[in-house]
Amino acid sequence: MKKILIVFGTRPEAIKMVPLIKEFSKYPTLFDVKVCVTAQHRQMLDSVLEIFDIKPDYDLNIMLPDQGLTDVTAKILTQVGFVLQDYNPDILLVHGDTTTSMASALAAFYQKIKIGHVEAGLRTYNLHSPWPEEMNRQFTDKISDLYFAPTQNAKENLINEGVDNRKIIVTGNTVIDTLFLGQKIIEERKLKPSILELIKDSGFDMNEHHFIKGRPYILVTGHRRENFGEGFLNICNGLKKIALLYPMIDIVYPVHLNPNVQKPVYDALQGCSNICLLPPLDYLPFLFLMENSYLILTDSGGIQEEAPSLGKPVLVMRNTTERPEALGFGTVILVGTESQKIVDCVSSLISKKEEYLKMQKATNPYGDGTASRQIMNYLLNL
């Protein structure tokens, strides 16, 4: 029996590690798996754990108001170190590019415990964009022992950096597994009416006017640190212009809890008649909003991977992306944070149906929903 510790701390990590936990749970005689959460995102993390019925074995609850990255890193490094000493796993699994992943991997490295990096090999090669995620990901890859790359491009990045080809497996991205799992939960539990009510309670009137009569809406998300300040002001100006240009199209924006996001967004957009500002939504309601949107504007990495499986064009409000495959396959367009470019690209997808259909029908390069099974099989045969 292999002892595996899975550590994550944020909502995006949880979403992408859930299907792996579920896959391991099918084989209790082969894997002894424990889950540790740092709660780097407390509230948003807990909602994902509840939806997918994940009960952590260790909950470090490290966050305090106004903590800096230095404090967060030090706490995770120390407390995950204690967990590793207590459980002594054969392998630690971390995900992606968060401070939790980087510091947990370092704690395992210090104790000479093998590290498996899920979603390894993504790169912008600009340490300041995304910040500090690019550094976190590169650092985690540097000290890992096993690499679960979502794409061939990510694998090639690792090989070019000197990683042994035999330690890398291309799996697709686990977020597609979660997407299909979420759709299944909505269908099997007949959750659509309750999801509609939950979204309505959040402030968006999900009545027949939108979904039966076909009034379209653009879904927006934004949270990246590198966009704080001028970037978010530009994004908000662009959204306001779009709202004025297209009064028969709604803009639905669940606003991240970070004050650096909340203040500029609410200051600029509150009161616009066809812009609906919501609090952050749980995963299943947000998945429902993605499925029913016309297109998506985001600076999120995960949405760049999820939305193409739903046939939704994505405009990425960042100057760089560590997911160039989506650009190559035509499922996303990099628009940055310049207001007029955001407006122009949205206008093009509204007015030029052929451009919209081309993006809508493009192949998703991030897999077919079997990534977790591939990772499980690889570890089983290791």
Give catalytic residues, as residue numbers. Answer: 97, 119, 133, 223, 225, 256
Q: What is the dihedral of CA 307, 311, 317, 319, to 10 degrees?
A: 90
Cβ neighbours for 294, distance < 8 A, ≥ 6 positions apart: 216, 217, 218, 249, 312, 350
Distance separating alpha carbons of residues 249 and 349, to the nearest angstrom:
13
CB 255 within 8 A of CB 280: yes
Cβ neighbour number for residue 161 with a 10 Å cutoff: 12
Distance separating alpha carbons of residues 297 and 238, to the nearest angstrom:
11
Please tell me what DSSP assigns to residue 318: S
Q: Where are any strands of DSSP class E within the chain?
A: 2-8, 31-37, 58-59, 91-95, 114-118, 146-149, 168-170, 217-220, 250-254, 275-278, 295-298, 314-316, 332-334
| 222 conformational bin, left if phi > 0, alpha if psi -120 to 50, beta if neither | beta
